[in-house]
Structure 1
Amino acid sequence: MRLDKYLSDMGVESRSVLKREIRKGLVKINGEIVKDPSMEVQPGNSEIVYKDEPIHYEEFSYYMMNKPVGVLSSTEDRKQKTVLDLFSDKHRKDLFPVGRLDKDSEGLLLIMNDGALAHKLLSPKMHIEKKYLVEIPGKISEEELDRLRQGIQYDTDLIAMPAKARCLSSTEEGSRVEVIIMEGKFHQIKKMFLALSTDYVVTKLQRLSMGPLHLDPALAPGEYRKLSEEEVQALKNCF
């Protein structure tokens, strides 16, 4: 791997900037100044320092974020803030959110650059459970929850897979429902509740868990952290 690509992958700077900085002698490999951006390096076999800061290479990076309301689950947008805009520290440029939470939804969002793992996590065939807290106006009944459990038709030609649903609280003013699904189609949960009643406009949608991972209560909205090795392994072991 080229030296400039190694550093660029780790989010240090762009390749064009790094080429200039390397030629200025700002990079050391095993204690020796290197000025050739094209020099081949082996990740893990060399100590690489950029501006006196050791840069360790990771093939894959995994993060958990508590996505706040008002932010897009995408990699970039010219007009609106995305989840990657919330990263305050250096990060690789190939990160992407696993699936999506609507702009007005919140909660657990995984962000990584492991395409194969992300594909498995999102595939309905893998039966990865995603748990949500849903708030709606009005009092929901057990009969209505049973329709969600049986698999409700929520669009002209779309029928949801049977969901797990339990009422956490319900009054005439509003209901709080825990819903677990294994899909994630466009506005699916919102449409599922509207299929029960046009009065059930979702006022809050928060993802609580995805597979074996639960939203870290220490993360405030907009905060994120790297997954531990144990958490990454748990994701890989759930297939």
Structure 2
Amino acid sequence: MRLDKFICKSTELTRTEAKKVLKSGEVRVNNEVAKNAAMQVHENNLITIDGQQLSARGSRYYILHKIVDTICSNVDEIYPSVLHSLEVDKAFDLHIAGRLDADTTGLVLITDDGRWSHNVISPKKQCQKTYRVWLRSEIDDDKLSALVARFDSGLQLQGEDSLTRPAILTRVEIDNLVDEASYRSEVLLTITEGKYHQVKRMFAAVGNRVVGLHREQIGKITLGDLAPGEWRELTEDEITQFS
């Protein structure tokens, strides 16, 4: 963990304030003055400010049901950050483990544990993310099997050197649809990586267009009955999935 982040997790100081304290020479790591905010430290290191030993608070883990026209960023841009919806102390010290576009809704995981979020987003970890996708053009039943095979084999995206990892494309059960007219234009897609605009680009690669996108699941974690804009802490079992 970065030294400035450790200080923030051990005190009420902001990241900016922590850097000022570091520059003043008041911080020691294992009895040696430390001024480099990016210095990597561990919980077993002796870290003090003016002789007072610091002890980092435990990491935090949340799930949020993202609404449209919000962004997965720690800085507001054209749209506000999803972190405004999180009513916790120092929400903007957290980060998003797997971002969604502004026009995409659904499941977002938020934490201050860098190793944990790496396990969520790293393609090497093969973490499955499932999306409900609404398409401009309907997929006829007689073409579905061939399309499923193409997604399973990997697709060549524009600007990419390699194929996408195998993805699982399935038809949404008709009982879960509002009306039968949606049957041929609504699918579920499960991927294990997170390239830029990946889901939209995958359907573009097969001649279709995504007109609506909603993330339903990451690993075994689902939104459940969490309403749009609502959030909660993750359970211990949910956290340990990616520990």
SS in 2 for 1:7: coil
Conserved? CA contact 1:71–1:82, under 8 Å: yes
128-137 or 156-165, larger mean C-alpha shift: 156-165
Question: What residue identity is the alignment partner of 2:11?
Answer: Y
The partner residue of 2:239 within 218, 221, 232 is 232
SS for the counterpart of 1:203 is strand
Equivalent residue, structure 1, for 2:221? 213
1:7 aligns with 2:12: yes
RMSD: 2.9
Question: CA offsets per residue over residues 138-193 of structure 1, 9 Å max, x none?
Answer: 22131222211211112143421110111115858851111110011011110111
Measure, in 2, the Cα distance between the counterparts of 1:2 and 1:130. Answer: 33
Whole-angstrom CA distance in 2 between matches of 1:93 and 1:203 = 30
Cα pair 1:66 1:109 within 8 Å, conserved = yes
2:24 match: none
Q: Which residue of 2 aligns with 1:165?
A: 169
Aligned length: 198
**Unmatched runs of 5 consecutive residues or more in structure 2:** 1-5, 19-48, 175-179
Residue identity in the other structure for 1:182: T
- SS for the counterpart of 1:155 is coil
Whole-angstrom CA distance in 2 between matches of 1:195 and 1:147: 10
Q: Note the residue ranges of structure 1 that are not aligned, 5 or more in a row.
A: 17-36, 44-56
Counterpart check, 1:192 vs 2:202 = yes
Contact 1:138 1:171 in 2 (8 A): no
More strand by share: 1
- TM-score of the superposed pair, with normalisation by structure 1: 0.72
Greater share of helix:
2
Moved more, 69-78 or 180-189: 69-78
| Counterparts of 1:166 and 1:83, CA distance in 2 | 29
Q: Deviations over 1:105-163 (max 9, x none)?
A: 01110000111111121111111111111110222131222211211112143421110
- Residues 89 and 59 of structure 1: is their aligned pair in 2 closer, same or farther, counting only changes over 3 Å? closer
Cα deviation for residue 96 of structure 1 reads: 0.5
Residues 3 and 38 of structure 1 are in contact (CA less than 8 Å); yes or no, is this contact kept in structure 2? no
Tell me the amino acid that sits aligned with residue 112 of structure 2: N
The question of 1:76 aligning with 2:75 is answered yes
